[in-house]
Amino acid sequence: MDKKVEPGKSSIASAIENVEVKLSRTATWSGIETKASYGPSDVAGTNYERDIGDPGKYPFTRGAYPQMYRSRMWTLRNIVGYGAPEDTRQGIENALKIGTAGINVVLDTPSQEALDPDHPLLTVDVGQEGCSLPTVRDFEILLDGIDVTKQDVAWHSTMMVYPMVVAMAQKQGKDLSLLQGSHMPDHIQLRLAGWSESIVPTGLGHRTTVDCLEYSAKHSPRWALGCPQAYDIRERGAGAAGEIAIGMAIVNQTLRDLQARGTGVDQVAPSMAWVSGSDIDFFEEVAKFRALRRIWARTMKDGFGSQDVRSQRLRIACHTSGRTLVYQQPLNNLSRAAIQTMAALCGGVQSVETCTWDEPICIPTEGARELATRTQQILAHEVGAARVADPLGGSWYVEALTDQVEADALALLAKIESIGLIKAVEDGMVEGLMDEYNLKLKREMDRGERVVVGVNRFIPKEEPVPQRFSFSQAHTEAHMLRFAQLKQQRDQRTLNDRINTLYRVVQQGRDNFHQAMIDALIADATMGEVWGTVRVATGLPYDPFRVLESPFAYSAA
Amino acid sequence: MNPEKKIRCLLGMLGTDVHTKGLRTLAQLLRDDGIEVIYLGEHNTVDGMVNAMIQEDADVVGISFSIATYLHYARQLLDAMRARGVGDIPVMVGGLVHPDDHEKLKEIGVSGIFGPGSTTPQILTFIRSVGQPAGA
């Protein structure tokens, strides 16, 4: 180990060894073996027009737009969410002061799982990791004075968020066709990322995704759909090719099911954006973004018959990797996140959220958030990351790596689709792939074959205990009281009627159930009540923890 | 000593925490080392977990957290275990555990704390030292 002085070695010799830089690995972080150098023969089969193309031209390998960041800069995102709506509102205002584009909200873990804050087992989870937003009234408090048809609000959440926002907009008499913002409607990803069958059964989750995309394509064409949410898939346990393969399997299944309902690719794909990670292997990530755009373009055009260039040109929303950041010597995470952000920009993404250095310790402190913003500003203004489109295009290495990531992704995609996505998820095949990936990585680290600085090598001898983010629970307590009061004050008859309509629509299984959810939410049904009703109508227990019974008397159609 | 009897280790998460990646990996590493793992996964209740300990005759229990709710849930779990007469089963807590909370976790009755930086051999050594099955 680094700490110990081996017998027969002087402490000076050990100290030198501790700081020495050596090549410890010749494969990429995802496991693609690389050569010592690359040359023209490695890309001999490439046809520029067919496989690469200029930026903004099919197959968009080099970027979605001809001028890239000269015509449209990437969006600097800063995600905020903790405690009650009042707490998160304050956090958003602080983030806007530091410099961030728009409003980016993450929900607390109960809200992310469509569970109410008065669940008797989960009160301690309320306000953790995000903002508690169980009712439309809470959305109104969070967004007081903000017009959702004029201001872009990005929701980093899946379950129930879209119907909640639409319910608020409809309640306010807004024109849905002007609705701005985005969310991440991919429920299969939730199933894979630990929500599991108990919270998001694969079939019901997928049906909800398809319903959401269909509803949005019809009613809110300016709303952006972060689908697939491949970030969590990647973080959960996938390499660069795995991210593309699993994400594309979700996209293909979703678009096929939409087509069967009469919603064509060009009605929905222009609103879709890929939610991606940016992992630690710089060149591999650049190659991934390029391979991804090429696969997407060809899939839309050749697979789904798209005629609209907006469907074929993929927009990518990127969050730098949280899993690659480590607790030990946490300031090193500034370097990691800066390089990951640089990879995302060299890969031509449309928005970046740079993780804060204290991500492995706690929810971001404001000082760390400010540094994440500054990282992007340094890249934009000093480093020259925005100047030229696809700056690594034409590098023999990056082109060859792009081809390899693409080939690996297509092979894995074919394997998943030969089983069928839904079955592959339900039966645990996809989760098995993730377990395998994680286990391999862990074993390599345990054996010292894969080095993570501060974790299994160069371990700091003494470290100060890191500071944690903390905030007063006062707003959360008041918020929970307000929630209980709202439930008493509602018009019970309207609520029951709308909940029952929702129950019947879901149970019949023919029609899109989004409007029925929205109508119930407008009548002050809570998130937990609406999703609980959907669960009961599909034969599941109202409460995944099996503690609560539904408060409603349902009547079948 | 009965070499046939394996240590039975129950692993799970409590509350709304979905970050089971580490726990799933640990489950396989323990199995590879000859430990019998009862893997409960995520979204368990305290009562459900105590029932499983009793039914499965667990020798050691591991709970993992990525959210700062671990003091609350560890206390609830240990209280419920004592109330049901299985307070003697050693409990280990892993995940994003902050050093400031180590003392509190020990006061609650947690036997092993494996926060960031813990290694697989450390966890295995702990399980083997506390988890010898009764009658072994």
Q: Taking CB atoms and an 8 Å cutoff, what residues of chain A touch B69?
A: 124-125, 128
* Nearest of A71, A52, A75, A69 to residue A348 by alpha carbon: A69
The answer to whether residue B1 sits within a structural domain is no
The answer to whether B20 contacts chain A (CB < 8 Å) is yes
Q: Taking CB atoms and an 8 Å cutoff, what residues of chain A touch B116?
A: 326-328, 360
Strands A272-278 and B112-114: unpaired
Q: Tell me the per-residue pLDDT of A454-499, one tens digit each, with 9 for 90 and over.
A: 999 998 888 888 888 888 899 999 999 999 999 999 999 999 999 9
The answer to whether A198 contacts chain B (CB < 8 Å) is yes
How many percent of chain A have pLDDT more than 90?
87
B117 vs A465: CB contact, 8 Å cut-off?
A: no
The answer to whether B67 contacts chain A (CB < 8 Å) is yes
For A289-335, what is the HEC assignment? HHHHHHHHHHHHHHHCCCCCHHHHCCEEEEEECCCCCCCCCCCHHHH
Nearest chain A residue (CA) to B76: A121
The per-residue pLDDT for A555 is: 87
The answer to whether residue B135 sits within a structural domain is no
Task: Give the mutation candidate from A116, A327, A361 for the B interface (greatest B CB count, under 10 A).
Answer: A327
Residue A427, CA distances (Å) to A146, A202, A416, A419, A423 in order: 44, 10, 12, 10, 6
A465 vs B115: CB contact, 8 Å cut-off?
A: no
Confidence of residue A98 (pLDDT cuts 50, 70, 90): confident
Query: How far apart are the C-alpha atoms of A439 and A431, rounded to whole Å?
Result: 12
Q: Taking CB atoms and an 8 Å cutoff, what residues of chain B touch A119?
A: none
The answer to whether A364 contacts chain B (CB < 8 Å) is no
The answer to whether B16 contacts chain A (CB < 8 Å) is yes
The per-residue pLDDT for B133 is: 66
Q: Taking CB atoms and an 8 Å cutoff, what residues of chain B touch A129?
A: 67
The residues spanned by each domain of chain A are: 56-446, 493-557
The per-residue pLDDT for A97 is: 84
The per-residue pLDDT for A79 is: 86
Q: Which residues contact A367 (CB under 8 A, 6 or more apart)?
A: none
Whole-number mean pLDDT of chain B?
94
DSSP A412-438: HHHHHHHH-HHHHHHTTHHHHHHHHHH
The answer to whether residue B2 sits within a structural domain is no
Provide the number of CB pairs (under 8 Å) joining chain A to chain B.
86
- B61/chain A closest Cα distance in angstroms: 20
The answer to whether A556 contacts chain B (CB < 8 Å) is no
Q: What is the CATH number of the domain that holds B57?
A: 3.40.50.280
Name the more confident of B136 and A374. Answer: A374
Q: Tell me the per-residue pLDDT of A439-465, one tens digit each, with 9 for 90 and over.
A: 999 999 999 999 999 999 998 888 888
Contact A484, A118 (CB under 8 A): yes
The answer to whether A109 contacts chain B (CB < 8 Å) is yes
Which residue from B17, B20, B98 is facing A109, i.e. has the nearest CB? Answer: B17
Nearest chain B residue (CA) to A454: B117
Determine which helix (DSSP H) or strand (DSSP E) holds A236, and give its type and residue range: helix A230-237
Query: How far apart are the C-alpha atoms of A65 and B27, rounded to whole Å?
Result: 46
The per-residue pLDDT for A557 is: 64
Q: Which residues contact A37 (CB under 8 A, 6 or more apart)?
A: A397
Say whether pLDDT at A243 is over 80.
yes
- B45/chain A closest Cα distance in angstroms: 7
User: How many domains, chain B?
Assistant: 1
Name the more confident of B127 and A365. Answer: B127
A109 vs B73: CB contact, 8 Å cut-off?
A: no
- B31/chain A closest Cα distance in angstroms: 12
Confidence of residue A12 (pLDDT cuts 50, 70, 90): confident
* Nearest of A313, A374, A383, A321 to residue A346 by alpha carbon: A383
Query: How far apart are the C-alpha atoms of A176 and A162, rounded to whole Å?
Result: 12
A438 vs B25: CB contact, 8 Å cut-off?
A: yes
The per-residue pLDDT for B136 is: 47
Nearest chain A residue (CA) to B29: A439
Contact A245, A293 (CB under 8 A): no
The per-residue pLDDT for A468 is: 84
Task: Give the mutation candidate from A121, A234, A546 for the B interface (greatest B CB count, under 10 A).
Answer: A121
Task: Indicate left, alpha or beta for A266 from its phi (over 0: left) and psi (-120 to 50: alpha).
Answer: alpha
Question: What's the whole-number mean pLDDT along residues A293-298?
Answer: 98
Q: For residue B95, what are the β-bridge partners?
A: B65
B100 vs A468: CB contact, 8 Å cut-off?
A: yes
Q: Tell me the per-residue pLDDT of A393-435, one tens digit each, with 9 for 90 and over.
A: 999 999 999 999 999 999 999 999 999 999 999 999 999 999 9
Contact A401, A28 (CB under 8 A): yes
A435 vs B16: CB contact, 8 Å cut-off?
A: no
Q: Tell me the per-residue pLDDT of A55-95, one tens digit each, with 9 for 90 and over.
A: 999 999 999 999 999 999 999 888 889 999 999 999 998 88
B43 vs A237: CB contact, 8 Å cut-off?
A: no
Question: What's the whole-number mean pLDDT along residues A4-11?
Answer: 59
Dihedral, A342, A348, A353, A359 alpha carbons, nearest 10 = -40
The answer to whether A361 contacts chain B (CB < 8 Å) is yes
Beta strands per DSSP E along chain B: 8-14, 36-44, 60-65, 91-95, 112-114
Nearest chain B residue (CA) to A436: B25
The answer to whether residue B48 sits within a structural domain is yes
Q: Tell me the per-residue pLDDT of A337-393, one tens digit each, with 9 for 90 and over.
A: 999 999 999 999 999 999 999 999 888 888 999 999 999 999 999 999 999 999 999
- B26/chain A closest Cα distance in angstroms: 9
Confidence of residue A6 (pLDDT cuts 50, 70, 90): low
Name the more confident of A116 and A92. Answer: A116
Say whether pLDDT at A3 is over 60.
no
The per-residue pLDDT for A11 is: 73
CB neighbour class for A44 (10 Å; exposed up to 12, middle 13-18, buried from 19):
exposed
The answer to whether B29 contacts chain A (CB < 8 Å) is yes
The answer to whether B42 contacts chain A (CB < 8 Å) is yes
A545 vs B119: CB contact, 8 Å cut-off?
A: no
Kindly report whether the global pTM for this prediction surpasses the value 0.90.
yes
Confidence of residue A1 (pLDDT cuts 50, 70, 90): very low
Residue-number span of the structural domain to which B21 is assigned: 8-129
Give the fold, CATH level 3, of A56-446. Answer: TIM Barrel (3.20.20)
Residue A306, CA distances (Å) to A199, A245, A259, A314, A517 in order: 35, 20, 12, 13, 31
Which residue from A193, A194, A468 is facing B98, i.e. has the nearest CB? Answer: A468
